[in-house]
Structure 1
Amino acid sequence: MTALQVFGDRKFPTAELLLTSSGRDWTGAAAQLRNHPACDVPAPIPDQMEITLAMATSPGRVERRAAGQFQDTAVWTGTLWFCPIGVREESIRITSPLASILHVFLDRTQFEGFAELSSRTPSPANLAYLANVDDELVRQLCLRIHRELSEETSGGKLLIECLTQTLVAHLISSYSTDSRPGLDQQTAGARLDQARLRRVLDYIHDHLETDLTLAKLSDVACLSKHHFARAFREATGAPPHRFISARRLDHAVSLLKATDTSLAEIAFVCRFSSQATFTRAFRRQVGVSPGEFRRAATS
């Protein structure tokens, strides 16, 4: 279990855990979906950025005190809270039970490599401590993380890397005291020419059964991680995680047709965390379970 996951369990010991990214092998990020009882929440000093999103409206309110601020927030679907790294929360009180609260944790290392967004190396501790944040981009990114948490895909690890890169860049450029404007203009020039795109596609083809990461693909393309995700989508029409997920499901189809490899082994080589999540993803895409597909293909 990662330090990010342990922190969530330590901070919310009485909250019901509905979904967790534990076991998903995500890099630099974790997520939990919880039901919270009315209580006073322990407030350990975080070594990660926490973004909280209410997935449903609840009658309770959240009262928080930190950094000289007192926040009293009603809980509606889409309500957002930020708790930056190193913020000592003096108190957190939930007045009535809250249902379906998503917690996204971003590791300190996620903020490295964004010097282009700041007058100096950005510090996550300089992000604002906020409640009831009205930011549709953050909301949609968290909703996509929740979707991956609920319905695992074979490209999920890479998807989370792309989402968190976008999320961290946006947090730094919009909510950091070190930020400077003009990110879109600064990064718009990054492109994948045909030679670099072919290198990346060949690498993906040769390594479908291995752990494809945003860092490795961006190295192959000779771009930064932040630039690569955008450039790949512009060049192929699909984000990296979706492209790779489709190729892995194609690979699964080939294995089911041409080999007697077990379903558990196919799930593993296609980078699913379990046979059950592979079966659900395959059924969503193909319309039948892997076992049903194999029987029909070999009969």
Structure 2
Amino acid sequence: MSSLHDHGIFKFPQAGVINSSADRRWRNLGAEVRAHPACEIPDICSTQMEITLALKGTPSGVVHRRGDGRFQSTAVRSGTLWFCPIGVQEDSIRITEPLPEILHLYLPEHQFATAGELTSQPVASGDIAYLADVADEFVRQVCMRVLQEMRHETAAGDLLVEQLSMTLTLHLLSRYSGNGLIESSTEVNGALSPVRRNRVIDYVEENLEADLTVAELAEVACLSRYHFARSFKAALGQSPSEYVANRRLLLGQKLLEDPTLSLAEIAFRCRFSSQAAFGRAFRRHTGMYPGDYRRRRS
């Protein structure tokens, strides 16, 4: 199975990577920030749905591109958005001057296929239009939340990004394709029932030290993953990612009371990508770094 970052590596060989989600356990969405030189990009057929956001604009920079015969010329301002769906053949991309900070999000085809459970017909990334200079503040805000998670890892960032990828997929299909999303009237649209809620909570507690996904929590609740997150929040007042993050940080506090465990081991058991990321998240949660917390408790 190819990496979510393979497309960016192949498409932008001249662009340096500033930040990347490659070392995270994210599912269904990859992200990276690149610095692009003035250049021409080789011909490429998109293998992932690509959303591009200019984090910093330039005074006179322009991106000229042609995909499936459609030519677009776009001034690069802070907040400029581009979409390139899967299967679009881009045979001409020219960047007129260096672009210092560009965010790229990548969504795989199977993410769109699973959204078909909410529609009356099959859906795919290719249903979405090839667009430049998109005026969509919702997409910008999702991009910025993904960027924040990439720069400042949280205790359940994998769940958060999975939720964001689902939300973004449905938004793109609803607004930029010809497929209308028709939700099943048989789904539960309110809060989780007490039985379902307790079943999910028990499952989370039993698996705090393992990778968790929205899909498997939804399966425990016997709901589709597209309905589970809002039903969970209606029942507990927190999103699944917020709930799991809080439980993992409380687990971290408990583990810190065991002097035989190293900080690196505790970080791993709380599902962080590094000890440093655990330290920063723990400090945001408690006001002190793990080492200071351990010394104070001892």
> What's the TM-score, normalizing by structure 1?
0.94
Structure 1 residues 111 and 181, CA gap change in structure 2 (3 angstroms): closer
Deviation at 1:283, TM superposition (A): 1.6
Q: Partner residue of 1:120?
A: 121
Q: Partner residue of 2:149?
A: 148
Structure 1 position 41 matched with structure 2 position 52: no
Deviation per CA, 1:125-181, whole angstroms, max 9, x where unpaired? Answer: 11100011111111111111100110111201111110000000111111112x116
Deviation at 1:190, TM superposition (A): 4.9
Q: Partner residue of 2:7?
A: 7
Task: Work out whether residues 187 and 227 of structure 2, in 8 Å CA contact, stay in contact via their aligned partners in 1.
Answer: yes
Deviation per CA, 1:239-298, whole angstroms, max 9, x where unpaired? Answer: 111111111001101111244311011000100011111111112222221111111110
User: Which letter maps to 1:175?
Assistant: Y
Task: Work out whether residues 63 and 72 of structure 1, in 8 Å CA contact, stay in contact via their aligned partners in 2.
Answer: yes
User: Which letter maps to 2:208?
Assistant: L
- The farther-off stretch of 76-85 and 252-261 is 252-261
Q: Give aligned-pair identity as a percent.
A: 49
The Cα RMSD (Å) is: 1.8
Counterpart CA distance in 1 for 2:99 and 2:140 is 18
Structure 1 residues 187 and 77, CA gap change in structure 2 (3 angstroms): farther
Q: Partner residue of 1:219?
A: 219
Moved over 6 A (4+): 184-188
Counterpart CA distance in 2 for 1:259 and 1:85 is 51
Deviation per CA, 1:60-86, whole angstroms, max 9, x where unpaired? Answer: 111111123211111122111000000
Structure 1 position 247 matched with structure 2 position 247: yes
Counterpart CA distance in 2 for 1:277 and 1:39 is 35
Q: Partner residue of 2:206?
A: 206
Task: Work out whether residues 117 and 180 of structure 1, in 8 Å CA contact, stay in contact via their aligned partners in 2.
Answer: no
SS of equivalent residue, structure 2 residue 30: strand
Deviation at 1:27, TM superposition (A): 1.2
Structure 1 residues 200 and 82, CA gap change in structure 2 (3 angstroms): same
Counterpart CA distance in 2 for 1:163 and 1:226 is 11
Q: Partner residue of 2:103?
A: 102
Structure 1 residues 186 and 141, CA gap change in structure 2 (3 angstroms): farther
Deviation at 1:88, TM superposition (A): 0.1
Counterpart CA distance in 1 for 2:87 and 2:73 is 21
1:1-299 → structure 2 map (5 Å cutoff): 2-59=2-59, 60-177=61-178, 179-180=179-180, 189-298=189-298
Q: Would you say how many aligned residue pairs link Structure 1 and Structure 2? A: 297
Deviation at 1:115, TM superposition (A): 2.2
SS of equivalent residue, structure 1 residue 91: strand
Task: Work out whether residues 42 and 91 of structure 2, in 8 Å CA contact, stay in contact via their aligned partners in 1.
Answer: no
- 5+ residue gaps, structure 1: none
User: Which letter maps to 2:120?
Assistant: S
SS of equivalent residue, structure 2 residue 212: coil
Task: Work out whether residues 66 and 93 of structure 2, in 8 Å CA contact, stay in contact via their aligned partners in 1.
Answer: yes
SS of equivalent residue, structure 1 residue 201: helix
Structure 1 residues 296 and 210, CA gap change in structure 2 (3 angstroms): same
